[in-house]
Amino acid sequence: MSSFNLDIVTPIKELKLGQVTYLRCPGIDGAFGVMNNHRQGILALTVGEIKISQDGKDEYFATGGGFAEIMDNSVKLLVESIEPSNAIDSDRAQKSLERAKKRKLERNPDFNADRVEVSLVRAMNRLRVSKR
């Protein structure tokens, strides 16, 4: 199957994955797939799951959002965080989810609804991806 080059860049690391055949990203307006010879473009990503098919195997990653730059037969994902599904500690993800839920209910004086909502969504996403 024809393939394209994929790089994932975050502020703390750079993953050069090389040739992959398929990529699925959580776009802001819904998930989208990328294959070889995709139209060029820039698409914003939200918190969610990234699926990558390479050498006939599928891998899943949790991301905190960012954007995808699709160029001529190569894709660069600029995301704030990326974690492969097998590297996520699901117990820890479960705990941070519970923490976020608790914070949402408690409403401390320094409660910031947006921030709690973001951490809740992230924790749920990580937990979901870790079960892959």
Partner 1 sequence: MANLKDIRDRIKSVKSIQKVTKAMKMVAAAKMRKAQERMEQARPYSNSVSEVIQHLLPDVDRGRLPLLDKREIKRKAYVVVCADRGLAGAFNTNLLKIAQKEIDEFGKNQVDIFCIGKKARDHFTYRNYNIIESHVDFWAEMEFENAMMIGRSAIDHFKSGIVDEIHVVYNYFVNVAQQEVRSETLLPLAYETDESQPTDRLYEPSKEELVDTLIPRHLNVQMWKYLLESYASEQAARMLSMENATSNAQDMIKDLTLQFNKARQAAITTEMLEIVGGAEALG
Binding site for partner 1 (CB under 8 A): 9-14, 27-29, 32, 39-44, 66-67, 69-70, 76, 78, 80-81, 115
Q: Could you identify the residue written with the tokens 């990328």?
A: 34
From the CA atom positions of the chain, what is the Rg in Å? 16
| Residues 6 or more apart whose Cβ sits within 8 Å of residue 31 | 24, 25, 48
Task: Give 71 or 98: the residue with its C-beta nearer to partner 1.
Answer: 71
Sign of the Cα torsion 89, 91, 95, 100 reads positive
Q: Are strands 4-9 and 74-79 parallel, antiparallel or unpaired?
A: parallel
Is 22 or 67 the residue whose CB approaches partner 1 more closely? 67
Q: Quick one: 29 or 55, whose CB is closer to partner 1?
A: 29
Q: Closest Cα partner for 88 from 115, 126, 36, 48?
A: 126
Amino acid, single-letter form, for residue 10: T
4 within 8 A of 75, measured Cβ to Cβ: yes
